[in-house]
């Protein structure tokens, strides 16, 4: 066999530990498939005394990850620290400046700085690989960049955050509200102590920005992603969705049109007969629609030590084999800067729930507010009668209309004295 490929791992948390365990367990198999040994020779983490269940006696330990990144005794840096800036960014930049290949699972780093880092890698003649940054163990980046390279991608969408998918699935199955299910997700380790990135859609937006660049050969533009989370979803909405033949999923959706690149993350009503509507629990799924191949569904575990380590080591094996793919679908210098299609131009149907006083004339006021912006009601459900004229849920679905029209109608509806809570809106996606 040829010379050993020497690896430095920055970050020994869940994924870092899983990566070392995988490399140790499959050392012979990986060496055989690569035609050369692949060996971790250096690591860096904050606490050297922490018990990780790993044998590290023969591995050099660096207190400073950037010093390890500059070390001439390593060939590849694996960055598993996390965070869009700070030590993670400095470590990756140092490695690239010193001619090291870099593998990262850091979706925030790539979403915010992927353009410049890919350019640095290109100029240095090294690889910046990030399969593990999107959907854990699902090889969605390779699927789009390589498997679908002969296709023009018509659209790409998916469940990009397992925590939110677990919460929505459990709300439907158990009838419990968001807050209670979130606490369960935290106890099970599916949600962080601060779950904001997951439940507010930021994590999914990071991943969608990366997928958009891959699908449409454009620069990453995270700031242009429209982002909404699931905090406002109620079991009332979940139950009405079921009754109407839908399920609620937090989706990331990207399309390219004459108006520019459309990137949005928000809760969606999806017909129950759609495959993605039946992806449950902590699983992720991505659908890419190619003009020749049609729809391709990639589904699997989107996080965790094993699945994410699988993608990290998949990138490492490519590097060991001498495969030199661009970070995105084309060289970084060829990525285009595309205009953003504004959310106001989104066109589709809508689910709308109002908590309205049960008294004569209320329904007429509601439909008039919609009519004034040219919005046609497809269906309406009013549950029960409130004794003494108390609030009852009024649920409407609309025919397709522009988002700008719906936003104006929401302002009118919110101003009605018979509507006691802010209207709840969920977009209906035909996919």
Mean pLDDT of the chain: 94
In the predicted model, what is the mean pLDDT of residues 214-239? 96
pLDDT digits (tens, 9 = 90+) for 43-90: 998 877 777 777 787 899 999 999 999 999 999 999 999 999 999 999
- Percent of the chain predicted with pLDDT > 90: 86
- Around Cβ 354, how many Cβ atoms within 10 Å? 25
User: Residue 387's pLDDT is what?
Assistant: 58
| 3-state class (DSSP) for residue 335 | coil
Q: Which fold has domain 140-301?
A: Dihydrodipicolinate Reductase; domain 2 (3.30.360)
Helices (H), 247-347: 305-321
Catalytic residue among 187, 207, 249, 272: 207
The dihedral built from the CA positions of residue 394, 385, 421 and 239, taken in this order, carries a sign that is negative
Whether the per-residue pLDDT at 113 is higher than 90: the answer is yes
388: pLDDT confidence band, cut at 50, 70 and 90? low
Q: What is the largest CA-CA distance in the chain?
A: 84
At 175 the pLDDT is 96
DSSP assignment string, 110-166: HHHHHHHHHHHHHHHT--EE-GGGSSTT--HHHIIIIITTTS-EEEEEEE--HHHHH
What confidence score (pLDDT) does residue 50 get?
Answer: 78
Cβ(213)–Cβ(114) under 8 Å?
yes
pLDDT digits (tens, 9 = 90+) for 166-197: 999 999 999 999 999 999 999 998 998 899 99
**Where are the domains positioned within the chain?**
5-137+323-333, 140-301, 348-429
Q: Tell me how crowded residue 221 is: count the other CB atoms within 10 A of its CB.
A: 18
Cα(349)–Cα(429) distance, integer angstroms:
7
Supply the pLDDT for residue 69: 97
User: Is the domain defined by 348-429 classed in CATH 3.30.70.260?
Assistant: yes
Rounded to whole angstroms, the Cα distance separating 108 from 210 reads 10
Tell me whether residue 207 is one of the annotated catalytic residues: yes
* The pLDDT of residue 386 is above 60: no
For the domain covering 5-137+323-333, report its CATH number. Answer: 3.40.50.720
What is the DSSP-derived secondary structure letter of residue 277? G
Kindly state the average pLDDT of the residues 7-30.
95
Distances (CA, A) of 194 to 199, 242, 418: 10, 30, 36
Asked if the domains 5-137+323-333 and 140-301 are classified in one and the same CATH topology, the answer is no
């Amino acid at each position: 066999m040829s010379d050993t490929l020497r690896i430095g791992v920055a970050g020994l948390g869940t994924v870092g530990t899983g990566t070392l365990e995988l490399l140790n367990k499959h050392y012979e198999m990986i060496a055989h498939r690569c035609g050369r040994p692949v060996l971790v020779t250096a690591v860096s983490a904050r606490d050297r005394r922490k018990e990780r269940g790993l044998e590290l006696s023969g591995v050099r330990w660096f207190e400073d990850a950037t010093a390890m990144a500059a070390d001439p005794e390593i060939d590849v840096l694996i960055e598993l620290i996390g965070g869009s800036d700070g030590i993670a960014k400095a470590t990756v930049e140092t490695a690239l400046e010193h001619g090291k290949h870099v593998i990262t699972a850091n979706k925030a780093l790539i979403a915010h700085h992927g353009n410049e880092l890919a350019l640095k890698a290109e100029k240095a003649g090294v690889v910046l690989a990030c399969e593990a940054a999107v959907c854990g163990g699902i090889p969605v980046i390779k699927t789009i960049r390589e498997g679908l390279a002969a296709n023009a991608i018509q659209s790409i969408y998916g469940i990009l955050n397992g925590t939110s998918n677990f919460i929505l699935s459990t709300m439907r199955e158990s009838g419990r509200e968001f807050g209670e299910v979130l606490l369960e997700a935290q106890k099970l380790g599916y949600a962080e102590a601060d779950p904001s990135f997951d439940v507010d859609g930021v994590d999914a937006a990071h991943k969608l920005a990366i997928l958009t660049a891959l699908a449409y050969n454009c620069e990453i533009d995270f700031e242009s992603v429209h982002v909404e989370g699931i905090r406002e979803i109620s079991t009332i909405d979940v139950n009405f969705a079921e009754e109407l033949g839908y399920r609620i999923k937090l989706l990331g959706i990207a399309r390219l049109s004459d108006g520019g690149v459309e990137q949005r993350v928000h809760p969606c009503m999806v017909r129950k007969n759609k495959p993605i509507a039946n992806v449950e629990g902590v699983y992720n799924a991505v659908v890419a629609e190619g003009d020749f191949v049609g729809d391709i569904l990639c589904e699997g575990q989107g996080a965790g030590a094993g699945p994410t380590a699988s993608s990290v080591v998949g990138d490492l094996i490519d590097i060991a084999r001498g495969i030199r793919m661009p970070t995105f679908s084309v060289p970084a210098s060829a990525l285009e800067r595309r205009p953003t299609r504004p959310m106001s131009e989104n066109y589709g149907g809508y689910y709308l729930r109002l908590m309205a006083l049960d008294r004569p004339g209320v329904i007429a006021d509601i439909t008039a507010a919609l009519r004034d912006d040219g919005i046609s009601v497809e269906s309406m459900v009013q549950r029960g009668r409130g004794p003494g004229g108390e609030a009852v849920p009024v649920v409407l679905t609309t025919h397709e209309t522009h988002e700008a029209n719906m936003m104006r109608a929401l302002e009118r509806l919110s101003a009605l004295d018979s509507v006691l809570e802010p209207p709840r809106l969920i977009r209906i996606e035909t996919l």
